[in-house]
């Protein structure tokens, strides 16, 4: 359609489009780092609000569950209402939820605010990525734009640890939530002034049964992984949650093949390249989130680092992700197939994980931890950018929101599963080690710390295996050619407007 082509041409020649990228990236950074920014602040919040050890996980899980479980619905809302409008609504709601969490006086109020943050993040994230997809249509510009976006998506979690450490140590844990308010306000005004979008698609409809089935299935499975730690894998509740999650997701797939306007059109995930990207992202993030969890406790509990020092210890990882994404992937993506970046990236990240399996209670950061973090960061940077770019390439405008949401869903659900699964493995291994080695007259503190580190290394071995599996998936499933050998993105995006 000529109108669509005109809109695409306008987006491609707008001199302010790079400033628009800054706004989109700022919003995405806020959403991603909020998954981890409260990790270092969690002990202070727990003490201040009297949260029990069993319930403290919900400060993290309430956010990631709501975020991952509702992203598909958020993507469809972006298609229905319009990306720019949804982007602004998401920013305003996220800021309000952050202010509510910062002012929390009870644990329930904090849990609710974190869940509300996840709801609005689910609205915000897919509209941000779909705006990026339709703003940058030239393959070379698209590579640069996704390089920046991928770097922030990959490093945002690590940046959250740094910012969380600084705010917790020098201000108060509440500022880990309050800090989102000025960022969101800036992004709202910038988005209104700089971003362009067509009105929402009148034919789009919300698939409420699909949303309930999909979200319910994801929540049940992730909650099952969380409960496997205190209850055990064979507990009836845990098995029941896994079974219920499997049934709900199977019913979700069945319904999507019959729904008049499906929440997730199955042709999106039937595409081999997109399915490979979604699966690669989910598996990669399982390992990455597990690393963040273990290294935070290892540095603070075992090596006695302060919150700020712990946050700064992640800085090389962040820098390596940015270098891998913007200086390597973005520069060569239009010359090589995406899998030649993604598969080696996962092998590199797994190599960093293997190095970490050798850590002990007396490990030196500079010689034993730092090299592993750098390898991890480079590997993730090589992987993230081509995953985002390949998964969203060639998508019809009416499906861009839900496709973007599926990329983010794989990231958030992978993070939720990874945190719960690897933490259960680590805890179980630690308990077994302490039981086997704690004898009469033994140094209980030393044995306990050794047991904790042993649990971490066992879980990290599992994470390394999962990352190698991600590399195998990328090598076998992602068969896309370099962007320069494909049809121009702008043409592909505009040919199938309803």
* Segment 398-421, tens digit of pLDDT: 666 677 777 777 877 787 778 778
- At residue 398, the pLDDT reads 65
Per this entry, what is the length of the chain?
A: 498
Query: Does 63 score more than 50 pLDDT?
Result: yes
* 355: confidence class by pLDDT, cuts 50, 70, 90: very high
- At residue 91, the pLDDT reads 92
Query: Does 45 score more than 90 pLDDT?
Result: no
Contacts of 435 by beta carbon, 8 Å cutoff, 6+ apart: none
What's the count of helices (H) and strands (E) in the chain, helices before strands? 21, 0
Cα distance between residue 377 and residue 352, in whole Å: 9
More confident call, 174 vs 289: 174
Query: Does 498 score more than 90 pLDDT?
Result: no
Tokens of 405: 């949401």
Cα distance between residue 303 and residue 280, in whole Å: 33
Tokens of 442: 């033994």
- At residue 150, the pLDDT reads 66
- What mean pLDDT is predicted for residues 69-75? 78
Q: What is the mean pLDDT of the chain?
A: 79
Query: Does 469 score more than 90 pLDDT?
Result: yes
Write down the pTM of the prediction.
0.76
- What mean pLDDT is predicted for residues 449-471? 91
Percent of the chain with pLDDT over 70: 84
Q: How many beta carbons lie within 10 A of that of residue 3, not counting itself?
A: 10
Query: Does 202 score more than 60 pLDDT?
Result: no
* Segment 416-452, tens digit of pLDDT: 778 778 877 888 888 888 888 877 666 778 888 888 8
Cα distance between residue 235 and residue 418, in whole Å: 20
Query: Does 493 score more than 50 pLDDT?
Result: no
* Segment 130-168, tens digit of pLDDT: 777 777 766 667 677 777 776 666 566 667 877 888 888
* Segment 258-307, tens digit of pLDDT: 887 777 778 777 788 888 888 898 898 888 877 777 887 788 778 888 88
- At residue 170, the pLDDT reads 87
Q: How far is CA 249 from CA 216, 300, 354, in A?
A: 8, 39, 34
Estimate to the nearest angstrom the gap between the alpha carbon of 452 and the chain centroid: 26
């Amino acid at each position: 359609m000529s109108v669509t082509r005109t809109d695409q041409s306008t987006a491609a020649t707008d001199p302010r489009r790079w400033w628009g990228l800054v706004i989109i990236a700022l919003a995405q950074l806020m959403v991603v780092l909020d998954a981890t920014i409260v990790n270092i602040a969690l002990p202070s919040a727990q003490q201040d609000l009297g949260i029990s050890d069993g319930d403290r996980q919900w400060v993290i899980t309430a956010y990631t569950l709501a975020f991952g479980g509702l992203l598909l619905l958020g993507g469809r809302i972006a298609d229905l209402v319009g990306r720019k409008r949804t982007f602004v609504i998401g920013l305003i709601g996220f800021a309000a939820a952050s202010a509510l969490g910062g002012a929390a006086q009870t644990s329930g109020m904090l849990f609710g605010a974190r869940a509300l943050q996840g709801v609005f993040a689910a609205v915000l994230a897919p509209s941000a990525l779909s705006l990026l997809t339709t703003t940058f249509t030239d393959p070379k510009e698209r590579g640069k734009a996704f390089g920046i976006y991928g770097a922030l998506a990959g490093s945002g979690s690590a940046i959250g640890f740094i910012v969380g450490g600084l705010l917790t140590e020098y201000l108060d844990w509440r500022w880990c939530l309050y800090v989102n308010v000025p960022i969101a306000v800036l992004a709202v005004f910038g988005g209104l002034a700089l971003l362009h979008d067509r009105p929402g698609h009148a034919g789009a409809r919300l698939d409420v049964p699909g949303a309930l089935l999909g979200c319910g299935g994801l929540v049940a499975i992730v909650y099952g992984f969380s409960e496997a730690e205190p209850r055990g894998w064979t507990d009836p509740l845990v098995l029941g949650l896994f079974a219920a999650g499997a049934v709900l997701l199977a019913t979700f797939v069945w319904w999507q093949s019959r729904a008049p306007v499906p929440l997730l059109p199955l042709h999106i995930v039937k595409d081999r390249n997109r399915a490979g990207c979604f699966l690669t992202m989910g598996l990669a993030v399982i390992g990455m989130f597990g690393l963040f969890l273990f290294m935070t406790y290892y540095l603070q509990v075992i090596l006695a680092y302060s919150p700020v020092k712990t946050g700064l210890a992640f800085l090389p990882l962040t820098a390596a992700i940015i270098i891998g994404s913007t200086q390597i992937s973005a520069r060569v993506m239009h010359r090589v197939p995406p899998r030649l970046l993604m598969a080696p990236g996962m092998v590199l990240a797994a190599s960093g994980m293997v190095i970490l399996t050798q850590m002990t209670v007396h490990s030196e950061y500079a010689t034993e931890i730092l090299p592993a973090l750098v390898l991890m960061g480079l590997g993730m940077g090589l992987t993230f950018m081509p995953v985002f770019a390949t998964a969203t390439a060639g998508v019809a405008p009416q499906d861009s929101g839900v496709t973007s949401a599926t990329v983010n869903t794989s990231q958030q659900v992978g993070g939720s599963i990874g945190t719960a699964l690897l933490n259960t493995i680590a805890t179980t291994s630690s308990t077994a080690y302490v039981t086997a080695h704690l004898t009469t007259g033994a140094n209980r503190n030393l044995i306990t710390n050794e047991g904790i580190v042993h649990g971490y290394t066992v879980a990290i071995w599992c994470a390394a295996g999962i990352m190698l599996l991600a590399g195998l998936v990328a090598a076998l499933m992602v068969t896309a050619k370099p962007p320069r050998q494909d049809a121009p993105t702008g043409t592909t995006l505009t040919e199938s407007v309803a």
